[in-house]
Amino acid sequence: MIDEAVLNFSAGSLTLLNAILAVVMFSIAIDLAPRDFRLLAKAPKPLVVGLVSQFVVLPVLTFLMVVVLQPQASVALGLILVAACPGGNISNFITHRAGGNAALSVSLTGIATVGAIALTPLNIAFWGSLYGPSAEILRATEIDPVQIAITVSLMLVLPLVLGITLNAKRPAITRRIRRPLQWLSMGIFVAFIVMALASNWAQFLAYAGGIAGLVILHNALALGGGFVTATLARLTPFDRRSITIETGIQNSGLGLVLIFAFFGGLGGMAVVAAFWGIWHAISGLALASVWGRTEAAR
């Protein structure tokens, strides 16, 4: 039974994943400068809409999906946890390919990452407790929101601050390392996930088929929710593409870290996060290939 399955992930592997995610976050942060935040402060509407889409709309849609479909407890909590994470590390690259507002995308990733210190544990605890089966897992696990906040800070926020600082102080260096570092960090991250899955391949295959449909539906809801939210807010197509992708590309790597660190590698949660990490890249790139054919009005 998937609720009782546990994927093997050593302490050393978890430490390595933390380090990889920190490098990925650093590679994103060196695209940011303090002036980006000042510009958004003058016209904050797209940023506010993007944050609401990520941290309010997506968790609500996820909870409604869980209530309607009634998946097993660990699968439901995995979906809720992924929805509680900030935008994924590849969202900026995909937004650029899609012809969206890349500056907004990078800024959203940065600010959502800082916000995740409080909002990720809050959303996991709140929405997870409203669904009976997943509430039982939360009661048994007794997760510490403060410890989750510390984990998010060390993995994501510290590299974010260091990257922005380096870009502000030594822009010539960041220009040289930006693109190679982004490709290298994403390649290492993908390779690590593949190796981690390889060591649990039998279990992953045993459960992935049943979970695939839920993850694909969940990702479609995320993309659709972002698009509708941005449309209702009357944002330009240029900004709308960014918010759609930021909502539909979740930081499943962070999700995996939290699952192995606080939930003991619970099978349903881990397979959901791992499959999300694969599928959102496929759906995001497919959407970018369609949108990228036409220029978005600004």
pLDDT of residue 224: 97
pLDDT of residue 96: 81
Residue with tokens 């102080």: 169
- Look at the chain and count its residues: 298
Q: Is residue 295 part of a domain?
A: no
pLDDT of residue 92: 80
Q: What's the CA gap between 68 and 46, in Å, rounded?
A: 31
| Structural domain containing residue 48 | 2-289
Q: Is residue 294 part of a domain?
A: no
Domain containing 235 — which CATH number?
1.20.1530.20
pLDDT of residue 180: 84
Q: What's the CA gap between 130 and 190, in Å, rounded?
A: 33
3-class SS of residue 85: coil
Q: What's the CA gap between 231 and 240, in Å, rounded?
A: 7
pLDDT of residue 12: 65
Q: Which residues of the chain have pLDDT under 50?
A: none
Helix and strand numbers, DSSP H then E, in the chain: 15, 0
pLDDT of residue 196: 65
Sign of CA dihedral 161, 165, 167, 170: negative
Q: Is residue 239 part of a domain?
A: yes
Q: What's the CA gap between 236 and 99, in Å, rounded?
A: 12
Q: Is residue 296 part of a domain?
A: no
Determine if residue 144 is left, alpha or beta; phi over 0 gives left, psi from -120 to 50 gives alpha, anything else beta.
Answer: beta
Q: Is residue 247 part of a domain?
A: yes
pLDDT of residue 117: 85
Q: What are phi and psi of 8, to 5 degrees?
A: -80, 130
Q: What's the CA gap between 98 and 245, in Å, rounded?
A: 9
Q: Is residue 238 part of a domain?
A: yes
Residue type, 245: I
pLDDT of residue 10: 59
Determine if residue 6 is left, alpha or beta; phi over 0 gives left, psi from -120 to 50 gives alpha, anything else beta.
Answer: beta
| Domain count for the chain | 1
Q: Is residue 107 part of a domain?
A: yes
Angle, to 10 degrees, between the axis of helix 91-98 and the axis of helix 267-291? 20
Q: Is residue 109 part of a domain?
A: yes
Cα 179–chain centre separation: 21
Residue type, 121: P
